[in-house]
């Protein structure tokens, strides 16, 4: 397996300006080094305010980082925001599913238009060429062609999640980043989404990076786990290793909390 993405020294620095008698609030993320292999699933776990969502946004470039470089699909570029054609390349190779997929869709625009947008902005295809692509994508994520004309409010939670997924894989990315994709979903719909992502991964060879609090699902689908605390990666390893021999205190706490919920006989 080859590395599809290599992150070196990614740093994000945020500090409130100091005011009279007020301590400046400083938050630093990283430096983070990370490598992602083709078709690999990586889960990011950690407590609230550990910088998980921020890391996801930095990886896709939704928030400009302060320092560091990212090598994606043999293209190296600085993680600092720059409006060059390398940036354009990045939007093709890495895509994101946002935390609240239903709220991240424009309610005034039908699904077809939502899916059209990434194509219109990033490719040179004409309208006649784009439409069959969108319809093909809709059927791929388990929706119907008719959903092209549906609005957000006409879809159920699970269907909205499917549209968000379709929008993310529209440009055939190599890496998909998702911020809590399963948190807001009901159990049966959640299993459907998990199945869909597993199938798509096999089909397209996607690398999938996701954040989750649900350690049951993390254990089921992740190859590797990253544990974060206070903006730093404190532990990293294979899923089974992390679950069986957690090393760092934070990991131990998380895994123990999870194990205490699981019925006893499943712990071998």
Residue-level length of the chain: 268
Distances (CA, A) of 142 to 158, 179, 240: 10, 21, 31
Which of 186, 244, 247, 249 touches other proteins by CB under 8 A? 186
Closest separation between CB of residue 29 and other proteins, Å?
18
Strand 41-46 and strand 207-211: the pairing is parallel
d(CA 179, CA 96): 8
d(CA 119, CA 122): 5
Residue 1, token pair as written in the block? 């397996």
Strand 41-46 and strand 175-179: the pairing is unpaired
Contact string 28-47 vs other proteins (x = CB under 8 A): -------------x----xx
Contact string 221-260 vs other proteins (x = CB under 8 A): x-----------------x-------------xx--xx-x
User: Among 68-76, 101-109, 167-175, 191-199, which window interacts with other proteins (CB under 8 A)?
Assistant: 191-199
Closest separation between CB of residue 42 and other proteins, Å?
13
d(CA 200, CA 209): 14
User: Among 23-31, 55-63, 144-152, 153-161, which window interacts with other proteins (CB under 8 A)?
Assistant: 153-161
Closest separation between CB of residue 61 and other proteins, Å?
26
DSSP state of 65: -
Which of 66, 158, 232, 236 touches other proteins by CB under 8 A? 158
By C-beta, is 8 or 192 nearer to other proteins? 192
DSSP 137-194: HHHHTT--GGGGG--GGGS-HHHHHHHHHHHHHTT--SEEEEESTTTTS-HHHHHHHH
Asked whether position 191 contacts other proteins by CB under 8 A, the answer is yes
Number of residues that bind other proteins (CB under 8 A): 40
Q: Which residues bind other proteins (CB under 8 A)?
A: 41, 46-49, 156-159, 183, 186-192, 194-195, 198-199, 213, 215-217, 219-221, 239, 253-254, 257-258, 260-263, 265-266, 268
């Amino acid at each position: 397996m080859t590395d599809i993405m290599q992150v070196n020294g990614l740093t994000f620095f945020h500090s409130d300006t100091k005011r009279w008698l007020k301590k400046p609030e400083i938050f630093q993320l990283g430096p983070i080094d990370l490598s992602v292999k083709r078709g690999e699933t990586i889960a990011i776990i950690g407590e609230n305010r550990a910088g998980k969502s921020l890391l996801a946004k930095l990886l896709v470039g939704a928030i400009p980082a302060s320092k560091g470089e990212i090598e994606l699909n043999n293209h190296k570029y600085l993680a600092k925001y720059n409006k060059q054609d390398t940036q354009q390349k990045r939007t093709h190779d890495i895509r994101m599913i946002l935390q609240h997929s239903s709220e991240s869709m424009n309610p005034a625009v039908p699904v077809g238009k939502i899916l059209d947008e990434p194509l219109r902005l990033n490719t040179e295809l004409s309208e006649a060429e784009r439409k069959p692509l969108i319809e093909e994508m809709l059927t791929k994520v388990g929706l119907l062609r008719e959903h092209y004309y549906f609005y957000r409010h006409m879809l159920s939670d699970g269907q909205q999640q499917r549209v968000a997924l379709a929008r993310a894989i529209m440009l055939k990315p190599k890496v998909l980043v998702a911020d809590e994709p399963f948190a807001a979903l009901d159990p049966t719909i959640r299993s459907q989404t998990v199945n869909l992502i597993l199938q798509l991964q096999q089909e397209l060879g996607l690398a999938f990076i996701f954040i989750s609090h649900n350690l049951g699902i993390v254990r089921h689908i992740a190859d590797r786990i990253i544990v974060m605390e206070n903006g730093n990666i404190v532990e990293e390893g294979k899923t089974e290793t992390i679950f069986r021999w957690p090393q760092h205190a934070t990991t131990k706490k998380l895994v123990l909390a999870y194990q205490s919920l699981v019925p006893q006989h499943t712990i071998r």
